[in-house]
Amino acid sequence: MEFEFERKINYYETDRMGVVHHSNYIRFLEEARCAWLEHLNMPFSLLEEKGITIPVLGVNCKYKYHVTFGDTIIIKLFEKKYNGVRLTMGYEVTEKETGKLVLTAETEHCFTNKDLRPVNLKKAEPEFNEKFEKISK
């Protein structure tokens, strides 16, 4: 299941050249992931209530084009891999007005308890697992 998240670029997110600083894209991806989880009725607050955290293990970004203050981006995200313990998400960021591809990315995550020990959702939270499995099909 593909999910779209729309976001307008703020002035403070740009660098001296007037373009979005590369580090901000990682924040944008996280905003999109949070919105995606809310859309699935699994907001971070609910996961944390159940003692589940989803730390980032890795981020890989390919910068294709730039955006500037006032531009609107659309972040398409989708589940690439899921096995109950690990989750890999894919992203395509485009500029809304032109449709130009701005960035492709991938983030890797694992599910942990509050002590950061790996958790298998298949056993620990079957209802969350079921939602992730439905998406990955």
Every domain of the chain and the residues it spans: 2-136
State the pLDDT confidence band at 136, using cuts at 50, 70 and 90.
confident
Q: Over 80: is that where the pLDDT of 137 sits?
A: no
- What pLDDT does 61 receive? 98
Could you read off the pLDDT of 11-64 as tens digits, one per residue? Answer: 999 999 999 999 999 999 999 999 999 999 999 999 999 999 999 999 999 999
- 23 HSE (CA, 13 A, CB side): 3
Helix, strand, coil content of the chain in percent (nearest 5): 30, 40, 30
Question: What is the DSSP secondary-structure string of 41-92?
Answer: T--HHHHHHTT-B--EEEEEEEE----BTT-EEEEEEEEEEE-SSEEEEEEE
Strand partners, 68: 19
d(CA 37, CA 32): 9
- Predicted TM-score (pTM) of this structure: 0.93
Q: Over 90: is that where the pLDDT of 1 sits?
A: no
Please give the average per-residue pLDDT across 55-79, as a whole number.
97
The CATH homologous superfamily to which domain 2-136 belongs is: Hotdog Thioesterase (3.10.129.10)
- 128 HSE (CA, 13 A, CB side): 27
